[in-house]
């Protein structure tokens, strides 16, 4: 693809299309992180929380931000998480990433949400971004 940039407007249009592709990719990746947390953690077949009712704080605080032009981050917003029992949001996320439910002694054999998510990203992220760039009109091989 040969692109001739004749004006600042041409450059702005290319940047805008790239930003749109990156944001669409970030949304898809964020949704995959939601799925991994739900399947690997909330629906963990090795753990049945009969002592409490889930608040979904962890699940509800997965988000993404556009950091700058063509850059996004997908993360768990631990600053926005609040537990009535004063659990540390950082500790909850750390335990969940190790297939632990609320304490070291509630560890299951279910593969962690984090491992499943990272494996998915390693296999799919580049193709996903390429497809979203194609949707914006770029020719990607």
Q: Which of the four pLDDT bands, split at 50, 70 and 90, describes residue 4?
A: low
Residue 48: the pLDDT is 73
Domain ranges of the chain: 8-135
Residue 1: the pLDDT is 44
Q: What percent of the chain has a predicted confidence (pLDDT) above 90?
A: 52
> How much is the CA Rg of the chain, to the nearest whole Å?
19
Q: Which of 32, 26, 30, 33 has the alpha carbon at shortest distance from 66?
A: 26
pTM (two decimals): 0.85
- Torsion angles phi and psi, residue 55, rounded to 5: -95, -15
- 84-94 confidence digits (pLDDT tens): 878 889 988 99
Residue 7: the pLDDT is 72
């Amino acid at each position: 693809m040969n692109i001739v940039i004749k004006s600042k407007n041409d450059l702005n249009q290319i940047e805008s299309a790239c930003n749109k592709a990156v944001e669409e990719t970030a949304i898809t990746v964020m949704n995959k992180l939601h799925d991994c947390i739900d399947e690997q953690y909330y629906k963990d077949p090795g753990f049945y929380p009969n002592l409490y009712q889930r608040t979904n704080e962890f699940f509800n605080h997965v988000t993404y931000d556009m950091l700058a032009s063509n850059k996004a981050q997908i993360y768990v917003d631990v600053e926005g998480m609040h537990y009535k029992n004063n659990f540390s949001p950082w500790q909850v996320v750390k335990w969940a990433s190790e297939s632990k439910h609320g304490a070291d002694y509630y560890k299951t054999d279910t593969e962690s949400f984090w491992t499943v998510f990272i494996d998915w990203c390693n296999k799919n992220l580049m193709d996903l971004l390429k497809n979203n760039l194609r949707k914006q009109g770029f020719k990607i091989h």
